[in-house]
A and B are shown apart, each in its own frame.
Chain A
Amino acid sequence: MSDPALKTKAVRDASADEIEVLTFEIGGETFALEAAIVREILDLLPETIVPGSRPFVNAVINFRGKVIPLADIRVAMGMPAAAATIDSRIVVVELDLDGTPSLVGLRTDRVNEVATLSKAGGEPPPRVGLRWPPQFIECLIHREGAFIIFPDLRTIFSSKGRASQPD
Protein backbone atom coordinates (compact mmCIF):
# COMPACT_ATOMS: atom_id res chain seq x y z
CA MET A 1 0.00 0.00 0.00
CA SER A 2 1.62 3.20 -1.06
CA ASP A 3 0.90 6.19 1.12
CA PRO A 4 1.44 8.89 -1.49
CA ALA A 5 -1.22 7.37 -3.70
CA LEU A 6 -3.73 7.37 -0.89
CA LYS A 7 -2.82 10.87 0.07
CA THR A 8 -3.19 12.23 -3.43
CA LYS A 9 -6.55 10.63 -3.67
CA ALA A 10 -7.61 12.09 -0.36
CA VAL A 11 -6.43 15.52 -1.41
CA ARG A 12 -8.29 15.30 -4.68
CA ASP A 13 -11.42 14.08 -2.97
CA ALA A 14 -11.37 16.81 -0.36
CA SER A 15 -11.48 19.58 -2.87
CA ALA A 16 -10.81 19.44 -6.57
CA ASP A 17 -8.97 22.73 -6.63
CA GLU A 18 -6.89 22.45 -3.48
CA ILE A 19 -3.58 20.79 -4.16
CA GLU A 20 -0.51 20.08 -2.18
CA VAL A 21 2.58 21.45 -3.83
CA LEU A 22 6.30 21.67 -3.33
CA THR A 23 7.63 25.15 -3.91
CA PHE A 24 11.17 25.89 -4.97
CA GLU A 25 13.20 28.71 -6.43
CA ILE A 26 14.99 29.08 -9.71
CA GLY A 27 16.60 32.35 -10.74
CA GLY A 28 14.75 34.30 -8.05
CA GLU A 29 11.32 33.07 -9.16
CA THR A 30 9.14 30.72 -7.16
CA PHE A 31 7.98 27.58 -8.90
CA ALA A 32 5.65 24.87 -7.67
CA LEU A 33 5.03 21.25 -8.57
CA GLU A 34 2.35 18.91 -7.33
CA ALA A 35 3.81 17.23 -4.27
CA ALA A 36 2.41 13.86 -5.34
CA ILE A 37 4.86 13.55 -8.23
CA VAL A 38 7.91 14.46 -6.13
CA ARG A 39 9.92 11.39 -5.19
CA GLU A 40 12.89 12.82 -3.43
CA ILE A 41 14.97 15.93 -2.80
CA LEU A 42 18.70 15.42 -3.17
CA ASP A 43 21.83 17.39 -2.56
CA LEU A 44 23.83 18.00 -5.70
CA LEU A 45 25.38 14.88 -7.18
CA PRO A 46 28.17 14.35 -9.67
CA GLU A 47 26.68 14.96 -13.09
CA THR A 48 27.60 13.32 -16.36
CA ILE A 49 27.15 15.51 -19.41
CA VAL A 50 25.42 13.81 -22.35
CA PRO A 51 26.95 15.32 -25.49
CA GLY A 52 24.44 15.97 -28.21
CA SER A 53 21.38 16.07 -25.98
CA ARG A 54 18.88 18.90 -25.79
CA PRO A 55 20.42 21.68 -23.69
CA PHE A 56 17.84 21.62 -20.90
CA VAL A 57 18.40 17.88 -20.28
CA ASN A 58 22.13 17.87 -20.85
CA ALA A 59 23.18 15.53 -18.06
CA VAL A 60 22.43 12.30 -16.23
CA ILE A 61 22.90 11.41 -12.57
CA ASN A 62 23.07 8.24 -10.56
CA PHE A 63 19.89 8.18 -8.50
CA ARG A 64 19.93 5.12 -6.26
CA GLY A 65 21.50 2.89 -8.85
CA LYS A 66 19.34 4.20 -11.68
CA VAL A 67 20.62 6.53 -14.35
CA ILE A 68 18.14 9.38 -14.62
CA PRO A 69 18.22 12.55 -16.71
CA LEU A 70 18.81 15.88 -15.04
CA ALA A 71 16.69 18.70 -16.44
CA ASP A 72 17.16 22.39 -16.01
CA ILE A 73 14.06 24.56 -16.05
CA ARG A 74 16.33 27.58 -16.04
CA VAL A 75 17.67 26.65 -19.47
CA ALA A 76 14.24 25.74 -20.82
CA MET A 77 12.85 29.10 -19.74
CA GLY A 78 15.84 30.93 -21.15
CA MET A 79 16.84 32.37 -17.76
CA PRO A 80 20.43 33.49 -17.25
CA ALA A 81 22.82 30.83 -16.05
CA ALA A 82 23.93 30.86 -12.42
CA ALA A 83 26.44 28.92 -10.39
CA ALA A 84 25.30 26.30 -7.90
CA THR A 85 25.06 27.47 -4.31
CA ILE A 86 25.02 25.72 -0.98
CA ASP A 87 21.21 25.74 -1.15
CA SER A 88 21.02 24.09 -4.58
CA ARG A 89 19.02 20.88 -4.63
CA ILE A 90 17.86 18.31 -7.12
CA VAL A 91 14.13 17.54 -7.01
CA VAL A 92 13.39 14.06 -8.38
CA VAL A 93 9.93 13.78 -9.91
CA GLU A 94 8.11 10.90 -11.51
CA LEU A 95 6.47 11.68 -14.82
CA ASP A 96 4.66 9.77 -17.46
CA LEU A 97 6.72 10.13 -20.64
CA ASP A 98 5.05 8.52 -23.65
CA GLY A 99 3.37 5.98 -21.43
CA THR A 100 6.48 5.04 -19.42
CA PRO A 101 6.72 6.26 -15.87
CA SER A 102 10.11 7.95 -15.72
CA LEU A 103 12.15 9.60 -13.02
CA VAL A 104 13.63 12.98 -13.85
CA GLY A 105 15.82 15.20 -11.71
CA LEU A 106 15.26 18.96 -11.76
CA ARG A 107 17.96 21.45 -10.82
CA THR A 108 16.70 24.05 -8.36
CA ASP A 109 18.38 26.90 -6.51
CA ARG A 110 16.54 26.25 -3.28
CA VAL A 111 13.66 24.12 -2.08
CA ASN A 112 11.15 26.04 0.05
CA GLU A 113 8.24 24.11 1.47
CA VAL A 114 5.23 21.92 0.93
CA ALA A 115 2.14 24.13 0.76
CA THR A 116 -1.50 23.83 -0.06
CA LEU A 117 -2.60 26.01 -2.94
CA SER A 118 -5.89 26.58 -4.60
CA LYS A 119 -5.60 26.06 -8.30
CA ALA A 120 -8.83 27.99 -8.74
CA GLY A 121 -6.87 31.15 -8.01
CA GLY A 122 -4.56 30.32 -10.88
CA GLU A 123 -4.42 32.32 -14.06
CA PRO A 124 -3.22 31.26 -17.46
CA PRO A 125 0.08 32.87 -18.40
CA PRO A 126 -0.41 36.25 -20.06
CA ARG A 127 0.23 36.26 -23.80
CA VAL A 128 2.46 39.31 -23.64
CA GLY A 129 4.77 40.75 -21.09
CA LEU A 130 6.18 37.45 -19.99
CA ARG A 131 9.86 36.80 -20.11
CA TRP A 132 9.41 33.06 -20.57
CA PRO A 133 7.85 30.90 -23.27
CA PRO A 134 4.14 30.91 -22.26
CA GLN A 135 3.52 27.35 -23.48
CA PHE A 136 5.89 26.07 -20.79
CA ILE A 137 3.73 27.49 -18.02
CA GLU A 138 0.57 25.76 -16.94
CA CYS A 139 -0.63 28.60 -14.73
CA LEU A 140 0.40 31.34 -12.36
CA ILE A 141 -0.96 31.42 -8.84
CA HIS A 142 -1.14 34.54 -6.73
CA ARG A 143 0.18 34.17 -3.23
CA GLU A 144 1.22 36.79 -0.71
CA GLY A 145 1.72 39.43 -3.34
CA ALA A 146 3.90 37.28 -5.54
CA PHE A 147 3.41 34.79 -8.36
CA ILE A 148 4.07 31.11 -8.11
CA ILE A 149 4.83 29.54 -11.46
CA PHE A 150 3.41 26.16 -12.31
CA PRO A 151 5.63 24.84 -15.08
CA ASP A 152 4.14 22.49 -17.67
CA LEU A 153 6.81 19.78 -17.48
CA ARG A 154 5.21 17.62 -20.12
CA THR A 155 5.34 20.36 -22.75
CA ILE A 156 8.84 21.31 -21.74
CA PHE A 157 10.13 17.75 -22.08
CA SER A 158 8.47 17.08 -25.39
CA SER A 159 9.66 20.39 -26.82
CA LYS A 160 12.20 21.12 -29.54
CA GLY A 161 15.65 22.16 -28.61
CA ARG A 162 17.10 19.18 -30.38
CA ALA A 163 20.75 19.92 -30.25
CA SER A 164 22.68 20.03 -33.46
CA GLN A 165 23.61 16.39 -33.57
CA PRO A 166 25.09 14.93 -36.71
CA ASP A 167 22.92 11.94 -37.46
Chain B
Amino acid sequence: MARFLLRRFISSIPVIIGILALVFALARMIPGDPCRAALGERATDEICDAYNERYGLNEPILVQFGIYIKDVATGDLGESFRFGVPVTQLLIERLPTTIELAGAALMIAVIVGVPLGIISGYRHNSKTDVATMIGANIGVAMPVFWLGLMLQYIFAVFLRDTPLALPPSGKLDAGLIPVPFYEAWGLPMNGLTEFLSEFTIMNALVTFQSEILSSAVLHLILPAVALATIPMAIIARMTRSSLLDVLGLDYVRTARAKGLRERSVILKHALRNAMLPVVTIIGLSFGLLLGGAILTETIFNLAGVGKTLFDAITSRDYTVVQGFTLVVAISFVIVNLVVDLLYTYLDPRVRVS
Protein backbone atom coordinates (compact mmCIF):
# COMPACT_ATOMS: atom_id res chain seq x y z
CA MET B 1 0.00 0.00 0.00
CA ALA B 2 2.75 2.43 0.97
CA ARG B 3 4.61 1.65 -2.22
CA PHE B 4 1.50 2.25 -4.26
CA LEU B 5 0.94 5.58 -2.57
CA LEU B 6 4.51 6.61 -3.19
CA ARG B 7 4.42 5.55 -6.83
CA ARG B 8 1.17 7.38 -7.42
CA PHE B 9 2.54 10.45 -5.73
CA ILE B 10 5.78 10.45 -7.70
CA SER B 11 3.92 9.99 -10.97
CA SER B 12 2.11 13.28 -10.41
CA ILE B 13 5.35 15.25 -10.06
CA PRO B 14 6.08 15.51 -13.81
CA VAL B 15 2.50 16.63 -14.30
CA ILE B 16 2.91 19.37 -11.73
CA ILE B 17 6.15 20.52 -13.35
CA GLY B 18 4.34 20.47 -16.67
CA ILE B 19 1.55 22.59 -15.23
CA LEU B 20 4.07 25.10 -13.91
CA ALA B 21 5.77 25.25 -17.31
CA LEU B 22 2.49 25.64 -19.17
CA VAL B 23 1.16 28.36 -16.87
CA PHE B 24 4.50 30.15 -17.08
CA ALA B 25 4.55 29.89 -20.86
CA LEU B 26 0.93 30.95 -21.34
CA ALA B 27 1.35 33.96 -19.10
CA ARG B 28 4.32 35.04 -21.25
CA MET B 29 2.50 34.38 -24.49
CA ILE B 30 -0.39 36.66 -23.61
CA PRO B 31 -0.01 39.58 -25.99
CA GLY B 32 1.17 42.84 -24.54
CA ASP B 33 4.14 44.05 -22.57
CA PRO B 34 3.96 43.04 -18.90
CA CYS B 35 5.57 46.30 -17.83
CA ARG B 36 3.06 48.50 -19.67
CA ALA B 37 0.25 46.25 -18.54
CA ALA B 38 1.35 46.83 -14.97
CA LEU B 39 2.35 50.47 -15.07
CA GLY B 40 0.10 51.76 -17.83
CA GLU B 41 0.59 52.68 -21.47
CA ARG B 42 2.51 55.83 -20.67
CA ALA B 43 5.40 54.20 -18.82
CA THR B 44 8.69 55.37 -20.36
CA ASP B 45 11.37 53.01 -21.61
CA GLU B 46 13.62 53.84 -18.66
CA ILE B 47 10.91 53.01 -16.19
CA CYS B 48 10.18 49.77 -18.02
CA ASP B 49 13.86 48.82 -18.07
CA ALA B 50 14.00 49.31 -14.35
CA TYR B 51 10.78 47.35 -13.94
CA ASN B 52 12.04 44.47 -16.08
CA GLU B 53 15.31 44.49 -14.17
CA ARG B 54 13.53 44.35 -10.86
CA TYR B 55 11.25 41.46 -11.80
CA GLY B 56 13.98 39.55 -13.66
CA LEU B 57 12.25 39.98 -17.01
CA ASN B 58 15.57 40.70 -18.74
CA GLU B 59 17.01 37.32 -17.77
CA PRO B 60 17.07 34.36 -20.20
CA ILE B 61 13.75 32.56 -20.25
CA LEU B 62 15.03 29.47 -18.44
CA VAL B 63 16.41 31.61 -15.63
CA GLN B 64 13.03 33.33 -15.44
CA PHE B 65 11.38 29.94 -15.18
CA GLY B 66 13.79 29.03 -12.39
CA ILE B 67 12.95 32.24 -10.54
CA TYR B 68 9.26 31.54 -11.07
CA ILE B 69 9.53 28.03 -9.59
CA LYS B 70 11.50 29.37 -6.64
CA ASP B 71 8.85 32.05 -6.04
CA VAL B 72 6.01 29.58 -6.24
CA ALA B 73 7.80 27.19 -3.90
CA THR B 74 8.15 29.96 -1.34
CA GLY B 75 4.48 30.91 -1.70
CA ASP B 76 5.08 34.11 -3.66
CA LEU B 77 2.64 34.35 -6.55
CA GLY B 78 3.37 37.98 -7.33
CA GLU B 79 1.25 41.05 -6.91
CA SER B 80 -2.00 41.96 -8.62
CA PHE B 81 -1.64 45.06 -10.82
CA ARG B 82 -5.27 45.87 -10.50
CA PHE B 83 -5.74 45.50 -6.77
CA GLY B 84 -2.20 46.22 -5.65
CA VAL B 85 -2.21 43.31 -3.22
CA PRO B 86 -0.35 40.01 -3.33
CA VAL B 87 -2.10 37.30 -5.34
CA THR B 88 -2.00 35.07 -2.27
CA GLN B 89 -4.02 37.70 -0.39
CA LEU B 90 -6.63 37.64 -3.17
CA LEU B 91 -6.71 33.86 -2.91
CA ILE B 92 -7.26 34.06 0.83
CA GLU B 93 -10.22 36.35 0.26
CA ARG B 94 -11.78 34.63 -2.73
CA LEU B 95 -10.98 30.96 -2.65
CA PRO B 96 -13.41 30.28 0.25
CA THR B 97 -16.35 31.63 -1.76
CA THR B 98 -15.62 29.18 -4.55
CA ILE B 99 -15.01 26.28 -2.19
CA GLU B 100 -18.29 27.02 -0.45
CA LEU B 101 -20.14 27.23 -3.76
CA ALA B 102 -18.53 24.13 -5.25
CA GLY B 103 -18.97 22.23 -1.97
CA ALA B 104 -22.66 23.09 -1.78
CA ALA B 105 -23.11 22.16 -5.43
CA LEU B 106 -21.33 18.85 -4.99
CA MET B 107 -23.43 18.12 -1.91
CA ILE B 108 -26.66 18.77 -3.81
CA ALA B 109 -25.41 16.72 -6.75
CA VAL B 110 -24.58 13.73 -4.56
CA ILE B 111 -27.59 13.93 -2.25
CA VAL B 112 -30.00 14.09 -5.18
CA GLY B 113 -28.05 12.26 -7.87
CA VAL B 114 -27.10 9.08 -6.01
CA PRO B 115 -30.60 8.18 -4.72
CA LEU B 116 -32.11 8.97 -8.12
CA GLY B 117 -29.55 6.71 -9.74
CA ILE B 118 -30.26 3.92 -7.26
CA ILE B 119 -34.00 4.13 -7.75
CA SER B 120 -33.80 4.16 -11.52
CA GLY B 121 -31.22 1.39 -11.54
CA TYR B 122 -33.29 -0.75 -9.25
CA ARG B 123 -36.56 -0.02 -11.00
CA HIS B 124 -34.94 -0.41 -14.37
CA ASN B 125 -37.20 0.67 -17.28
CA SER B 126 -39.94 1.85 -14.91
CA LYS B 127 -41.58 5.23 -15.30
CA THR B 128 -39.31 6.66 -12.59
CA ASP B 129 -36.28 5.35 -14.45
CA VAL B 130 -37.35 6.78 -17.78
CA ALA B 131 -38.23 10.13 -16.22
CA THR B 132 -34.93 10.30 -14.36
CA MET B 133 -32.92 9.47 -17.44
CA ILE B 134 -34.78 12.01 -19.57
CA GLY B 135 -34.14 14.54 -16.83
CA ALA B 136 -30.47 13.56 -16.67
CA ASN B 137 -30.07 13.92 -20.42
CA ILE B 138 -31.61 17.36 -20.32
CA GLY B 139 -29.54 18.22 -17.25
CA VAL B 140 -26.19 17.58 -18.91
CA ALA B 141 -27.23 19.44 -22.03
CA MET B 142 -28.17 22.65 -20.23
CA PRO B 143 -25.71 25.52 -20.47
CA VAL B 144 -24.84 26.54 -16.90
CA PHE B 145 -25.13 30.24 -17.66
CA TRP B 146 -28.58 29.83 -19.15
CA LEU B 147 -29.81 27.76 -16.23
CA GLY B 148 -28.46 30.38 -13.85
CA LEU B 149 -30.25 33.22 -15.61
CA MET B 150 -33.49 31.24 -15.80
CA LEU B 151 -33.30 30.41 -12.09
CA GLN B 152 -32.78 34.09 -11.36
CA TYR B 153 -35.80 34.97 -13.42
CA ILE B 154 -38.01 32.30 -11.87
CA PHE B 155 -37.05 32.80 -8.24
CA ALA B 156 -36.39 36.52 -8.14
CA VAL B 157 -39.00 37.86 -10.57
CA PHE B 158 -41.67 35.30 -11.22
CA LEU B 159 -41.98 34.17 -7.58
CA ARG B 160 -41.08 37.60 -6.19
CA ASP B 161 -43.80 38.01 -3.60
CA THR B 162 -44.08 34.38 -2.61
CA PRO B 163 -42.24 32.59 0.20
CA LEU B 164 -40.21 30.82 -2.49
CA ALA B 165 -38.51 34.01 -3.63
CA LEU B 166 -34.72 33.85 -3.50
CA PRO B 167 -32.08 36.55 -3.93
CA PRO B 168 -30.66 36.52 -7.47
CA SER B 169 -27.10 37.66 -6.86
CA GLY B 170 -24.36 38.47 -4.39
CA LYS B 171 -23.21 36.69 -1.29
CA LEU B 172 -25.20 38.49 1.43
CA ASP B 173 -28.03 41.00 1.69
CA ALA B 174 -26.86 44.57 1.31
CA GLY B 175 -25.73 46.10 4.57
CA LEU B 176 -24.90 42.85 6.33
CA ILE B 177 -21.30 42.67 7.44
CA PRO B 178 -20.25 39.44 9.11
CA VAL B 179 -18.04 39.57 12.18
CA PRO B 180 -15.06 37.30 11.54
CA PHE B 181 -14.77 34.53 14.10
CA TYR B 182 -11.26 35.56 15.09
CA GLU B 183 -12.57 38.94 16.22
CA ALA B 184 -15.45 37.34 18.07
CA TRP B 185 -13.11 34.93 19.78
CA GLY B 186 -10.26 37.36 20.32
CA LEU B 187 -7.82 35.44 18.12
CA PRO B 188 -5.06 37.14 16.15
CA MET B 189 -5.74 37.89 12.52
CA ASN B 190 -3.40 36.07 10.17
CA GLY B 191 -3.56 34.42 6.78
CA LEU B 192 -5.13 31.27 8.13
CA THR B 193 -7.80 32.83 10.35
CA GLU B 194 -8.67 35.31 7.62
CA PHE B 195 -8.97 32.50 5.10
CA LEU B 196 -11.21 30.50 7.41
CA SER B 197 -13.39 33.49 8.28
CA GLU B 198 -14.13 33.99 4.57
CA PHE B 199 -16.21 30.82 4.63
CA THR B 200 -19.28 32.93 5.32
CA ILE B 201 -21.60 30.12 6.30
CA MET B 202 -19.15 28.33 8.56
CA ASN B 203 -18.10 31.62 10.11
CA ALA B 204 -21.70 32.62 10.82
CA LEU B 205 -22.42 29.17 12.19
CA VAL B 206 -19.60 29.08 14.73
CA THR B 207 -20.22 32.64 15.88
CA PHE B 208 -24.05 32.30 16.01
CA GLN B 209 -24.77 35.16 13.60
CA SER B 210 -28.17 33.85 12.60
CA GLU B 211 -29.17 36.72 10.33
CA ILE B 212 -25.95 36.43 8.34
CA LEU B 213 -26.28 32.67 8.27
CA SER B 214 -29.76 32.66 6.78
CA SER B 215 -28.88 35.37 4.30
CA ALA B 216 -25.76 33.54 3.18
CA VAL B 217 -27.60 30.24 2.80
CA LEU B 218 -30.41 31.85 0.79
CA HIS B 219 -27.91 33.56 -1.49
CA LEU B 220 -26.07 30.30 -2.04
CA ILE B 221 -29.08 28.23 -3.11
CA LEU B 222 -29.55 29.41 -6.69
CA PRO B 223 -25.89 29.41 -7.77
CA ALA B 224 -25.33 26.06 -6.08
CA VAL B 225 -28.34 24.50 -7.81
CA ALA B 226 -27.24 25.91 -11.18
CA LEU B 227 -23.75 24.58 -10.70
CA ALA B 228 -24.96 21.23 -9.35
CA THR B 229 -27.21 20.31 -12.26
CA ILE B 230 -24.63 18.85 -14.64
CA PRO B 231 -22.70 16.82 -12.04
CA MET B 232 -26.03 15.68 -10.58
CA ALA B 233 -27.14 14.32 -13.93
CA ILE B 234 -23.79 12.64 -14.47
CA ILE B 235 -23.79 11.10 -11.01
CA ALA B 236 -27.35 9.81 -11.41
CA ARG B 237 -26.49 8.18 -14.73
CA MET B 238 -23.29 6.69 -13.40
CA THR B 239 -24.96 5.31 -10.27
CA ARG B 240 -27.71 3.79 -12.35
CA SER B 241 -25.52 2.08 -14.91
CA SER B 242 -23.04 0.93 -12.31
CA LEU B 243 -25.79 -0.53 -10.13
CA LEU B 244 -27.24 -2.28 -13.17
CA ASP B 245 -23.86 -3.84 -13.88
CA VAL B 246 -23.49 -5.08 -10.32
CA LEU B 247 -27.07 -6.38 -10.04
CA GLY B 248 -26.31 -8.82 -12.83
CA LEU B 249 -23.41 -10.41 -10.95
CA ASP B 250 -23.48 -13.83 -9.31
CA TYR B 251 -22.89 -12.69 -5.77
CA VAL B 252 -26.03 -10.58 -5.89
CA ARG B 253 -27.99 -13.61 -7.02
CA THR B 254 -26.43 -15.56 -4.16
CA ALA B 255 -27.42 -12.87 -1.71
CA ARG B 256 -30.99 -13.01 -3.00
CA ALA B 257 -30.98 -16.80 -3.02
CA LYS B 258 -30.05 -16.99 0.61
CA GLY B 259 -33.18 -15.03 1.33
CA LEU B 260 -31.85 -11.63 2.22
CA ARG B 261 -34.36 -8.83 2.10
CA GLU B 262 -34.20 -6.91 -1.19
CA ARG B 263 -33.39 -3.76 0.73
CA SER B 264 -30.27 -5.22 2.18
CA VAL B 265 -29.24 -6.85 -1.10
CA ILE B 266 -29.36 -3.47 -2.80
CA LEU B 267 -28.11 -1.21 -0.08
CA LYS B 268 -25.53 -3.45 1.56
CA HIS B 269 -24.29 -5.82 -1.11
CA ALA B 270 -24.79 -4.27 -4.51
CA LEU B 271 -24.35 -0.63 -3.68
CA ARG B 272 -20.94 -1.05 -2.08
CA ASN B 273 -19.44 -2.22 -5.33
CA ALA B 274 -21.63 -0.06 -7.50
CA MET B 275 -20.33 3.05 -5.77
CA LEU B 276 -16.73 2.53 -6.93
CA PRO B 277 -17.03 4.23 -10.31
CA VAL B 278 -19.39 6.77 -8.77
CA VAL B 279 -16.65 7.86 -6.37
CA THR B 280 -14.35 8.48 -9.31
CA ILE B 281 -17.00 10.47 -11.10
CA ILE B 282 -17.73 12.53 -8.01
CA GLY B 283 -14.05 13.35 -7.70
CA LEU B 284 -13.71 14.19 -11.33
CA SER B 285 -16.80 16.42 -11.26
CA PHE B 286 -14.52 18.79 -9.43
CA GLY B 287 -13.03 19.98 -12.72
CA LEU B 288 -16.49 20.54 -14.10
CA LEU B 289 -17.43 22.49 -11.00
CA LEU B 290 -14.40 24.74 -11.32
CA GLY B 291 -15.09 25.38 -15.00
CA GLY B 292 -18.75 25.98 -14.19
CA ALA B 293 -17.78 28.25 -11.30
CA ILE B 294 -16.35 30.77 -13.77
CA LEU B 295 -19.77 31.05 -15.41
CA THR B 296 -21.86 30.71 -12.27
CA GLU B 297 -19.90 33.29 -10.29
CA THR B 298 -20.07 35.72 -13.21
CA ILE B 299 -23.83 35.38 -13.43
CA PHE B 300 -24.54 35.46 -9.72
CA ASN B 301 -21.96 38.14 -9.08
CA LEU B 302 -19.98 36.19 -6.51
CA ALA B 303 -16.41 37.30 -5.93
CA GLY B 304 -14.87 33.86 -6.06
CA VAL B 305 -11.93 32.36 -7.91
CA GLY B 306 -13.85 31.98 -11.18
CA LYS B 307 -15.08 35.55 -11.42
CA THR B 308 -11.75 36.97 -10.25
CA LEU B 309 -9.93 34.91 -12.84
CA PHE B 310 -12.26 36.01 -15.59
CA ASP B 311 -12.04 39.67 -14.57
CA ALA B 312 -8.26 39.35 -14.41
CA ILE B 313 -8.18 37.99 -17.96
CA THR B 314 -10.35 40.77 -19.34
CA SER B 315 -8.35 43.44 -17.50
CA ARG B 316 -5.00 41.78 -18.34
CA ASP B 317 -3.97 41.32 -14.74
CA TYR B 318 -1.46 38.64 -15.68
CA THR B 319 -0.04 37.73 -12.30
CA VAL B 320 -3.55 36.99 -11.08
CA VAL B 321 -4.28 34.88 -14.18
CA GLN B 322 -1.04 33.00 -13.67
CA GLY B 323 -1.46 32.48 -9.93
CA PHE B 324 -5.12 31.51 -9.99
CA THR B 325 -4.75 29.18 -12.96
CA LEU B 326 -1.88 27.48 -11.18
CA VAL B 327 -3.81 27.05 -7.96
CA VAL B 328 -6.86 25.68 -9.78
CA ALA B 329 -4.80 23.22 -11.83
CA ILE B 330 -2.79 22.00 -8.86
CA SER B 331 -5.87 21.55 -6.71
CA PHE B 332 -7.38 19.58 -9.57
CA VAL B 333 -4.33 17.30 -9.54
CA ILE B 334 -4.56 16.90 -5.78
CA VAL B 335 -8.26 16.03 -5.95
CA ASN B 336 -7.49 13.42 -8.59
CA LEU B 337 -4.77 12.00 -6.40
CA VAL B 338 -7.14 11.79 -3.45
CA VAL B 339 -9.78 10.12 -5.64
CA ASP B 340 -7.23 7.56 -6.78
CA LEU B 341 -6.23 6.83 -3.22
CA LEU B 342 -9.82 6.58 -2.11
CA TYR B 343 -10.48 4.22 -4.96
CA THR B 344 -7.57 2.06 -3.91
CA TYR B 345 -8.89 2.00 -0.40
CA LEU B 346 -12.36 1.01 -1.57
CA ASP B 347 -11.24 -1.52 -4.14
CA PRO B 348 -8.30 -3.65 -3.04
CA ARG B 349 -8.01 -5.16 -6.51
CA VAL B 350 -6.48 -1.94 -7.82
CA ARG B 351 -3.62 -2.30 -5.36
CA VAL B 352 -2.80 -5.81 -6.50
CA SER B 353 -2.63 -4.99 -10.19
Do A and B interact with each other, yes or no?
Answer: no
Give the B-binding residues of A (Cβ under 8 A). none
